[in-house]
């Protein structure tokens, strides 16, 4: 019984996080497809055998499938969930009305709008969740003032003292202590030029964060950059609706920017891939975050939604970014790429995605086992 309860503690937070994220992603595709008068055969949350579903008056099958690791919208004429065209003569077998509603018969602009709508829906979901949190519970906001300086730390060696107020880091305005933490995490071992206010005087301090031992989600030893400063406590500020939306936009933009920089660092080799994870890591983190309450889980949901949107914009065939890539070449050439080239691209993309999933899942499993 204890084992069952433990498993449920992983499953329900994972489903609470992943289901709305996937639903809104696919809903974005669906809404823009319907706006462009594209017929939709299937709207599925999950992959594999259907668990249950219903048909709407437009002929779309809305269903939940066995494996809750994603979802898809299947248009008329697609052979699979990746919106691969059956063949270039399929539309000749359809009546005139269905031919007009065939996804592959739409313009490059219309098909691109449908493709990008999924990731954009994920970003919108994150903005809405952040705005609600910032307007009700409040946004974490701690004045960027140094409380204590850890002896022997990077900040201590650079000359920071209690009471120093951060103004800028590398020319970027700092308005809260959380900004400092985020910037330090994104600049691994790099020297930072910090402008601080000290006793009504502005001074520049150059500091290089130390890499200190820490633990990841699975308790594995990793290294994190650290200045070695702290504040007296964490504060929250509640915003009025307009301000809450603006702060939500800024928070989403920052996460997108930081995620892009982190991926670039991983590609260049300056950042470890320890932070990468798959469904198992998301399940473990969901369980840990859920222990902190519904607010923490909602914030985590928004972050995962942004991550899913970004991943789908990667220009790999099978993903939304791959469709946009094919559409780009079609717009440049004035005609679609040859079916053989598209099939090769889809195959390569599928291999890359499967390989990545196997790799990150393996990392997660070994992390749990260690």
pLDDT, tens digit, for every residue of 167-212?
999 998 998 888 898 888 887 778 999 999 998 899 999 999 988 8
Please name every residue paired with 195 in a beta bridge, in sequence order, or none if there are none.
Answer: 168, 204
How far apart CA 125 and CA 206 sit, in angstroms, is 39
Q: Given pLDDT bands bounded at 50, 70 and 90, which one contains residue 121?
A: very high
Helices 320-333 & 108-136 angle (0-180, nearest 10): 140
Ranges 20-24, 67-71, 362-366: which has the least confidence:
362-366
Residue 293 Rama label (left phi>0; alpha psi -120 to 50; beta) = left
Q: Note whether 359 and 255 are same-domain residues.
A: yes
Report whether pLDDT(320) > 90: yes
Give pLDDT, residue 4: 45
Map residue 119 onto helix, strand or coil: helix
Do residues 365 and 283 share a domain? yes
Number of domains in the chain: 2
- Using an 8 Å Cβ cutoff, are 111 and 75 in contact? no
User: pLDDT tens-digit profile of 62-103?
Assistant: 999 998 888 999 988 665 555 555 444 444 455 566 667 788
Same domain assignment for residues 330 and 293: yes
Summarize the confidence of residues 10-23 as an average pLDDT. Answer: 90
Is residue 22, in this structure, part of any structural domain at all?
no
Mean pLDDT of 136-156: 91
Shared domain check, 343 and 314: yes
Parent domain of 152: 142-234
| Residues 118 and 150 grouped into a single domain | no
Whether 2 is in a domain gets the answer: no
pLDDT of 91: 45
Quote the mean pLDDT of the chain. 86
- Contact between 252 and 306 (Cβ < 8 Å): yes
Same structural domain, 258 and 227: no
Q: How many CB atoms lie within 10 A of CB 146?
A: 21
Judge whether 167 lies within some domain.
yes
Active-site annotation, residues: 26
- Position 245 pLDDT exceeds 80: yes
What is the pTM (predicted TM-score) of this model? 0.82
Q: Is the pLDDT of residue 166 over 90?
A: yes
Whether 329 and 204 share a structural domain: no
Shared-domain flag, residues 261 and 133: yes
Tell me the mean pLDDT in the region 19-43.
94
Confidence of residue 132 (pLDDT cuts 50, 70, 90): very high
- Under the banding of pLDDT at 50, 70 and 90, the label for residue 247 is very high
In this structure, the answer to whether residues 155 and 185 fall within a common structural domain is: yes
189 and 287 together in one domain: no
Let me know if residue 37 belongs to a domain. no
Give the pLDDT confidence score for residue 77 in this predicted structure. 67
Q: Are residues 176 and 314 in the same domain?
A: no
Query: What is the rounded CA–CA span in Å between residue 209 and residue 187?
Result: 8
Helix axes 108-136, 294-312, angle to 10 degrees: 160
Same domain, 281 and 152: no
Choosing from 178, 206, 234, the residue where a domain stops is: 234
Which of 167, 199, 234 terminates a domain? The answer is 234
Residue 365 resides in a domain: yes
The residue among 95 and 61 whose pLDDT is bigger is 61
Residue 73 lies in a domain: no
In a domain, 301, yes or no: yes
Domain end among 234, 259, 293: 234
Query: Contact 284/217 with Cβ under 8 angstroms?
Result: yes
Q: Compare 207 and 271 and report the one with higher pLDDT.
A: 207
Residue owning tokens 């790099």:
190
At 369, the pLDDT band (50, 70, 90 cuts) reads: low
CATH of residue 209: 2.30.42.10
Q: Is residue 222 part of a domain?
A: yes
């Amino acid at each position: 019984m204890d084992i069952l309860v433990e498993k449920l503690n992983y499953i329900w937070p994972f489903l609470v996080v992943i289901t709305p994220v996937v639903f809104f992603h696919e809903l974005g595709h669906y809404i823009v497809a319907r706006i462009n008068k594209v017929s939709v055969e299937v709207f599925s949350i999950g992959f594999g055998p259907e668990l249950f579903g219903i048909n709407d008056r437009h002929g779309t099958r809305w269903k939940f499938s066995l494996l809750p690791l994603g979802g898809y919208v299947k248009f008329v004429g697609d052979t699979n969930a990746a919106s691969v065209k059956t063949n270039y003569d399929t539309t000749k077998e359809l009546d005139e009305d269905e031919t007009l509603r065939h996804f592959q018969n739409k313009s490059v602009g219309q098909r691109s709008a449908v493709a990008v709508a999924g990731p954009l829906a994920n970003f919108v979901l994150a903005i809405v969740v952040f705005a609600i949190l910032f307007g009700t519970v409040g946004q974490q906001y701690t004045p960027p003032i140094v409380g204590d300086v850890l002896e022997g730390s990077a900040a201590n060696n650079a000359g920071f003292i209690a009471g120093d107020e951060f103004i800028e880091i590398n020319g970027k305005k700092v308005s809260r202590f959380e900004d400092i933490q985020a910037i330090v995490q994104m600049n691994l071992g790099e020297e930072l030029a910090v402008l601080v206010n000290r006793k009504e005087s502005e001074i520049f301090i150059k500091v290089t964060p130390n890499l200190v031992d820490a633990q990841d989600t699975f308790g594995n030893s990793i290294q994190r950059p650290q200045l070695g400063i702290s504040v007296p406590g964490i504060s929250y500020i509640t915003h009025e609706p307009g301000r809450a939306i603006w702060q939500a936009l800024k928070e989403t933009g920052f996460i997108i920017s930081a995620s892009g920089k982190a991926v670039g660092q991983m590609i260049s080799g300056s950042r470890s891939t320890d932070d990468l994870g798959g469904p198992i890591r998301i399940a473990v983190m969901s369980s840990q975050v859920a222990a902190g309450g519904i607010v923490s889980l909602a914030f985590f949901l928004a972050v995962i939604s942004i991550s899913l949107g970004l991943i789908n914009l990667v220009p790999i065939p099978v993903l939304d970014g791959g469709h946009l890539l094919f559409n780009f070449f079609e717009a440049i050439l004035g005609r679609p790429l040859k079916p053989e080239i598209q099939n090769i691209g889809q195959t390569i993309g599928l291999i890359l995605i499967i390989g990545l999933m196997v790799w990150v899942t393996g990392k997660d499993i070994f992390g749990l086992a260690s």
